[in-house]
Amino acid sequence: MSVLIVGSTALDSIKTPRAENPRLLGGSASHAAVAASFFAPVRLVGIVGEDFPKKYLKLYQQHRIDLAGLQVEKGRTFHWSGEYEVNMNNRRTLLTELGVFETFTPHLPDDYKRSPFVLLANIAPALQHHVLDQMERPKFVVADTMDLWLNIALDDLVRLLKRVDGFVLNDSEAHQLTKEDNVFAALRKIHRMGPKYVIIKKGSHGSILSGPDGHFLCPAYPLHKVVDPTGAGDSFVGGMMGYLSTARGGVERNLRRAMIYGSVVASYCCEGFGLKRTTKVNRADLEKRVEELEKLTRF
Amino acid sequence: MSVLIVGSTALDSIKTPRAENPRLLGGSASHAAVAASFFAPVRLVGIVGEDFPKKYLKLYQQHRIDLAGLQVEKGRTFHWSGEYEVNMNNRRTLLTELGVFETFTPHLPDDYKRSPFVLLANIAPALQHHVLDQMERPKFVVADTMDLWLNIALDDLVRLLKRVDGFVLNDSEAHQLTKEDNVFAALRKIHRMGPKYVIIKKGSHGSILSGPDGHFLCPAYPLHKVVDPTGAGDSFVGGMMGYLSTARGGVERNLRRAMIYGSVVASYCCEGFGLKRTTKVNRADLEKRVEELEKLTRF
């Protein structure tokens, strides 16, 4: 079954202590869509400007990503620029040029509206609502977010939580949202806000799922070198939704393994700038790391 | 087989945002010995002063800990006082009174010298050396440490690493010792310093084993409430060594599971001040959490 993914489609200029990479393909929807494409047909909803490089459109197409929902508008593509510190954990934003993103209203092509799996990747909660308003009885809806929306659009986000099956956020966002230091106390509070499934991401420390079947401690694939973590969280949730949409036996039964696949796609994402590494791997590479994770966690 | 444990035997005064607990039984050897006692007979090597409460000697005995190696000397017992911040991760030392510990020289009773499993719990590396000097062909020796010894006794510690089978340290100590940000780069460097097995502890994020059989990602048992993390690391390594010493089939085959047991004892340690909670659990309680960890990590 196909996965509908809405989010940002951007150009990322990323600086690390070792290198500078201008105008890479980036954005939450780009990372999530490529990640999901290893498992399922993907429908992308986003917006780019006239300056959006043709090679990036080709790259989407090489991943068999349906671009009927990608609006190309007059103006410039959303451009984000950031810099990482030497330990690759802390980053600061140098520049945000919204461009055509400023007036983005996602319009779904008719056949998109019946997509069974929906990933509302990181984007303003009002736009996530707008996509859900157009959907016709989706089977499984997951929303991702970021600290910015907790700061400037909390009400929209809280309303969104009542409309989604799963909610993904990182540990500091969970703390910000619930004021709880303990991750399990935070999970309980977030469940009460709506979602049946809550996943808290902890970067290189993995992630925790909370759902009707209890908790799952999902490991991160251990990386010997991190080149650029931008988009790792988007790759995680994209890979997870891609795997889920094709797995037999329902969400509950497959969600843990879907997170493992997401974790593995995210690990490849971190090994190159932007999508450079992710777009060079294949399904067999993913299976190899999933097997490794099985060995790494067996006791 | 019995486990020989040398380390500090102390009185801990622990302050948290919620409570103050003066002169609890503490010290690396106390925590490690109680943890190991769930699995194996334990021989304790340490020193206390005349002020050491009789009830704490009884508590050791209730755990069938052999006290022939515990020196009781004129003077006061080592007293440490610390305060935790509200998130229970950061702590600061308020007071350190060495007392009889200042002139401690560990003397092993003759039958201790043939102990097959030796845990050099956190204590000055010179004293860890002194214990090893007295041992007769131990089967498996593990050393723990702390940042203090990296700061003031690095040479002794580096020499020690050539004499032990396993070395346990936390992630910030691994960074300090190797100057490596990446945990796997740090593990490689530490192996080159001597130990066949290296374990890096990451607190609530679990621990990583590196050995001839590759890596193992050991989860921490997820705690819904942390009362006092003092001694958790000592409990981890103590439980691990206790389990290892009685498991059939050798170290390599049992080390992963031993770490899981250590992780579970450490989780109980965190649920009460000092040793209050740990001393109230039994083997069945431990098995229950080991089973839970199996469920929490299965995919």
CA dist list (Å): A218 to A293, B207, B209: 10, 14, 17
- CA angle (B57, B124, B32) in 5-degree steps: 40
Residue A10 and residue A77: Cα distance in Å, rounded? 6
Substitution target in B200, B204, B217, B257 with the highest count of A β-carbons within 10 Å is B217
Residue A181: list chain B partners with CB under 8 A.
86-88
**Predicted pLDDT at A16:** 86
Q: What is the largest CA-CA distance in chain A?
A: 56
Among A64-68, A215-219, A222-226, B77-81, where is mean pLDDT lowest? A222-226
Q: Does B292 touch chain A (CB under 8 A)?
A: no
pLDDT for the residue numbered B86: 76
* pLDDT at site B1: 83
* Distances, alpha carbon B26 to alpha carbons A136, B32, B60, in Å: 61, 10, 12
> What is the value of ipTM here, to two decimals?
0.91
pLDDT in tens, A124-153: 999 999 999 999 999 999 999 999 999 999
User: What pLDDT score was predicted for residue A18?
Assistant: 82
**Which chain B residues have a beta carbon less than 8 Å from that of A217?**
219, 222, 296-297
Q: Which helix (H) or strand (E) holds A119?
A: strand A117-120
Q: Distance (Å, rounded) from C-alpha A218 to C-alpha A196? A: 18
* Mean pLDDT on A191-215: 97
pLDDT of residue A62: 97
Task: Give every strand in the sheet of B10-15, ordered side by side.
Answer: B20-26, B10-15, B79-84, B91-97
Nearest-neighbour CA in chain A from B35: distance (Å):
20
What is the per-residue pLDDT for A17? 85
Concatenated DSSP letters for B203-242?
Answer: GGG-EEEEETTEEEEEPPPPPS--S--TTHHHHHHHHHHH
Distances (CA, A) of A181 to B18, B171, B243, B244: 15, 21, 32, 34
Provide, as residue numbers in chain A, all residues whose Cβ is less than 8 Å from the Cβ of B294.
299
Work out whether the CA dihedral A284, A287, A293, A298 comes out positive or negative. Answer: negative
Decide if pLDDT at A88 tops 80. no
Residues with Cβ within 8 Å of A40's Cβ and at least 6 positions away in sequence, in order, are: A1, A2, A3, A117, A242, A243, A245, A246
Q: Which of A87, A217, A218 sits opposite B181 (nearest CB)?
A: A87
Subunit contact B217:A219, Cβ cutoff 8 A? yes
Q: CA of B225: which chain A residue's CA is closest?
A: A182
CB A256 within 8 A of CB A240: no
**Mutate which of A217, A223, A270, A290 to disrupt the B interface (most B C-beta within 10 Å)?**
A217
Q: Are A142 and A121 in contact (CB under 8 A)?
A: no
The per-residue pLDDT of chain A, averaged, comes to 96
Q: Is A222 on the interface with B (CB under 8 A)?
A: yes
Which helix (H) or strand (E) is A156 found in, with range? helix A154-161
Sorted by sequence, the CB contacts under 8 Å of residue B45 that are 6+ apart come out as: B4, B5, B6, B7, B29, B69, B70, B106, B108, B112, B131
Percent of chain A at pLDDT exceeding 70: 100
Residue A9 pLDDT greater than 80, yes or no: yes
Q: How far apart (Å, rounded) are the C-alpha atoms in residues A201 and B68?
A: 49
pLDDT tens profile A244-273: 999 999 999 999 999 999 999 999 999 999
CB pairs under 8 A between A and B: 71
State which residues of chain B have pLDDT below 70: none
Per-residue buried b or exposed e for B103-115, using 16+ beta carbons within 10 Å of the residue's own CB: ebebebeeebeeb
Q: What is the pLDDT of residues A43-57, one digit of tens each?
A: 999 999 999 999 999
Residue B54 and residue B64: Cα distance in Å, rounded? 15
Band of pLDDT at residue A78, cut at 50, 70 and 90: very high
Kind plus residue range of the DSSP H or E element containing A97: strand A91-97
Q: Answer yes or no: are the C-beta atoms of B105 and B136 closer than 8 Å.
A: no
Facing B299 at nearest CB: one of A208, A223, A256: A256
Q: Do the Cβ atoms of A205 and B208 come within 8 Å?
A: no
Are A295 and B214 within 8 A, CB to CB?
Answer: yes
Yes or no: say if A25 and A274 are a contact pair by the CB < 8 Å rule: yes
Look at residue B88 in the predicted model and tell me its pLDDT. Answer: 72
Residue A212 CA, chain-centre distance (Å), reads: 23
Check: CB of residue A83 under 8 Å from CB of residue A15: yes
Residue A230 CA to residue A122 CA, distance in Å, equals 13
